[in-house]
Structures are given as C-alpha cells and as structure tokens.
Amino acid sequence: MSTLFSLAEEIRRCTSCPLWKKRTLAVPGDGNSKTKIMFVGEAPGVEEDRQGLPFVGKSGKFLNEMLNLVDLNRKDLFITGAVKCRPENNRVPSAKELQTCKELWLDKQIGLIKPELIVILGNSALKSLLKKTKLSELHGKIIMGNNQKYFVTYHPAAGMRFPKIKEEMKKDFLKLKSFVNLLY
C-alpha cells in the first residue's frame, strides 16, 4: 500500500509530463501527514526546484507571514503544489500538465491524508482541483466539491507583489482561522 513517503519517491522519478525534463528536483510536498488541513499552491519556483521542498523561496516567506498572522504553524499542515516540477521560467502550468499531475499524484496525496479542509492557493490550484477560474469571486469562501471542503485564496506570489491582494489575503486568512478553529 502506498504511503506519502513512497508516493514522494515515485514523484521524484516521474516522467509523465514534459515538466520533468527541466527540473532539478521534483517537489512532492512537505509537512504533517496526519493534518486536517492541506495547502495546495501552483508549482515549484527556482528555490523549491533547488531544494526539493515547497514554499521555501520568497513566496514561502510570504506564506509564513500569512500563517503567522493567524497562528497556524507549517509543521501542523501539509503543503504541496498542483504540479510537482518547475515549469521553465516560472510559466503557468498548462491544463494538460495540471490534469496529469493531479490524476497521478495530487489525488493520491489527498486520498492518503484525507484532510478536512484543502486550502487552494491561487488560480492553478483552483483550476486543478475544482475546474474553476473566478478566483476573485471565490476567494475567502468555503466551497464544497467532490465530497471535499475547500477554502480559496490567492497565491502568495500575487500577495507578495500586489498590496491590494496582500490585504485581501490577510482578510482571507483571518476567515480561514475561524474555519480551522471549528476543526479542532
């Protein structure tokens, strides 16, 4: 039977979409396998690709800032991406890449962790997990789909760049905290 650990080993060897060709290291995800809350971002950036870990670059620092704001600790969460290998020049992953990586890996990770809540960070994760696009209308809300509860917010890279989005993200994370409090 697969475990998160064995799945991570398979992900590091995966060649199922073209993204494997330019990666340094695949980034399967990191954190607490017994968590009730899973975060799904977009794709590894340059630092994540170098270290093989999610959200360890600049957007990771920003994510930490948002988590600290609401007293959530990374060691209590599981964090991964919609695709596990870095797209060249940080381009947005294609629909086909998102679908392949979800069906092969993300769905299995979710199946093993069985989180009570999945936090969607940005458009690519929204597209991958819910096949939806209107992030600006959906953020800050709980959405039900596939017998799973999701909470939608912006990607940390957007929050980092645009002060207005940073303010929206702060409000989203405060709402998220109130939902998370109900889980414990």
Binding site for ligand SF4 (CB under 6 A): 11, 14-17, 19-20, 26, 83-85, 97, 100-101, 104-105
**Nearest distance from residue 19's CB to ligand SF4, in Å?**
4
**Nearest distance from residue 8's CB to ligand SF4, in Å?**
10
**Nearest distance from residue 72's CB to ligand SF4, in Å?**
27
**Nearest distance from residue 83's CB to ligand SF4, in Å?**
4
CA distance 54 to 39: 10
User: Nearer Cβ to ligand SF4, position 104 or 143?
Assistant: 104
Phi/psi class of residue 139: alpha, beta or left (left: φ > 0; alpha: ψ in -120 to 50)? beta
Structure tokens at 119: 């936090």
User: Nearer Cβ to ligand SF4, position 97 or 172?
Assistant: 97
Phi/psi class of residue 17: alpha, beta or left (left: φ > 0; alpha: ψ in -120 to 50)? beta
Find the distance separating the first CA and the last CA of the chain, reported in whole Å.
29
User: Nearer Cβ to ligand SF4, position 19 or 79?
Assistant: 19
CA distance 150 to 120: 7
**Nearest distance from residue 181's CB to ligand SF4, in Å?**
34
- The closest of 11, 12, 85 to 48, measured between CA atoms, is 85
Task: Report CA-CA distances (Å) from 43 to 1, 75, 121.
Answer: 27, 20, 11
User: Nearer Cβ to ligand SF4, position 11 or 152?
Assistant: 11
User: Nearer Cβ to ligand SF4, position 20 or 179?
Assistant: 20
CA distance 97 to 61: 26
